Amino acid sequence: MAEKRKKPEIRFAGYETEWIEKKFDETFDMLSNNTLSRDALNYDVGVAKNIHYGDVLVKYGEYIDVNNEQLPYIEDSTVASKFMKSYLKDGDIVIADTAEDESVGKCTEVIGIEDTPVISGLHTIPCRPKQKYAPKYMGYYLNSNAYHDRLLPLMQGVKVTSISKTGIKDTDVIISGEFEEQAKIGDFLSSLDDMIVFEVSKFKKLTIVKKSLMEKMFPQKGSNTPEIRFNGFTDPWEERKVGEILVERNEQLPQSNEYPLMAFIANEGVAPKGDRYDRSFLVNDNENKAYKRTELGDFIYSSNNLETGSIGLNKYGKASLSPVYSIFEPTENTDSDFIGRMLVRKEFINEMVKWRQGVVYGQWRIHESDFLRIDVFVPKIEEQRKIGSFLDSLDNLITFHQRRLEKLKNIKASCMEKMFV
């Protein structure tokens, strides 16, 4: 049998000794937990705070700062006094012993307790280290695949998965024996988490700002002027038919290198066909099959899939699409970015839905002729360009933070994989 690797793949400079392997039971003592259900807790007042397994699984990360996290209260003083010997301390670990999937065994390390009485709750296994470890280190280690994979063979159940105290006690832990190395790992990973939290907050705030602006930069029903406008624009918007600002493009030719076959994906737009969307193997004569051609700035929608979001602007460029799509190009005094925003707003979709035909959900259809006769309010081309350009820059900022968030999450996942054994 191959000897276990006892050095992580990635380490901070200056640390070379092998990590220490011990049984979980040699590393932790297990405390008592209460069995109060969620409805026995409240967020207003109580004699002690409670850590519920559902929050460990979904809400809390690798560690929880009690002073900065809203924990529910236990109001019953009898329960609180019964578990006084198991009040949690900084560095204690709370493990969720039940889940609906393999996330069972997820845990959180408790920090920042000070004088706050905190008790581990329903379906949890509270554990206290037998020696002092650097803050947050154990929380990250016990949530890493390096340790959690050891729990997989011990999980029981079908619809609900659980793990026993006995099973956990017998697992192996492999940890750094140097407090300073533990501290560096804990600090580094928590700094990554801080950056992730910042990007999540930034992304959410920008998304809310965009949603608000999309409501206020376009006229509300019954009005011909928006609530928010750029300086210098005061004229009322003009009422037009969609057919006055868009013209159908119906060029059907085989795909080519210049016009590759693409998919139109909800919330993504024109994009390369993935395996999920590629059905070309079902076509006998794919080389000569006619597809609809689209250019950059075209407005596209599937009259059969409006409810699933198959509607929007082509921001990719030259492409061939399935003939099921309706493709329109903007007229001369119409800005494509502006139109792309206006025609996906909830208010416009609601107008479109009024023209739908069919009675079965998922098979509704809106004919091109009906789409083109819908009334919209449109400003002069200069104001259209201002609005389209501004919303584009906002989208770019949102995308920037979204990509940073994804990158940070990938970095953390890689570090969690390579910084533990």
pLDDT for 196 equals 98
Backbone angles phi, psi at 346, to 5 degrees: -55, -40
331-380 pLDDT per residue, tens: 999 999 999 999 989 888 888 888 877 655 555 677 888 889 999 999 99
Question: Residue 1 pLDDT more than 50?
Answer: no
d(CA 154, CA 161): 10
pLDDT band at 309 (very low <50, low <70, confident <90, very high): low
Task: Please tell me the predicted confidence (pLDDT) of residue 286.
Answer: 59
Per-residue pLDDT tens over the stretch 165-195: 999 999 999 999 999 999 999 999 999 999 9
pTM of the model: 0.85
Give the pLDDT confidence score for residue 288 in this predicted structure.
Answer: 74
Find out whether 329 and 249 touch, Cβ atoms under 8 Å: yes
Q: Which domains does the chain have, with CATH numbers?
A: 1-11+196-231+379-421 (1.10.287.1120), 20-175 (3.90.220.20), 238-378 (3.90.220.20)
pLDDT at residue 284, as a whole number: 47
Q: Could you tell me the pLDDT band of residue 18, with boundaries at 50, 70 and 90?
A: very high
Highest mean pLDDT among 133-142, 241-250, 275-284: 133-142
**What pLDDT is stored for residue 173 in this prediction?**
97
Read off the pLDDT band of 305 (50, 70, 90): low
Longest dimension (CA), the chain: 81
List the one residue out of 212, 297, 199 whose CA is nearest residue 247: 297
Q: What is the mean pLDDT of the chain?
A: 91
How far apart CA 193 and CA 172 sit, in angstroms, is: 27
Tell me, what amino acid is at 371?
F
Q: Is the pLDDT of residue 299 over 90?
A: yes
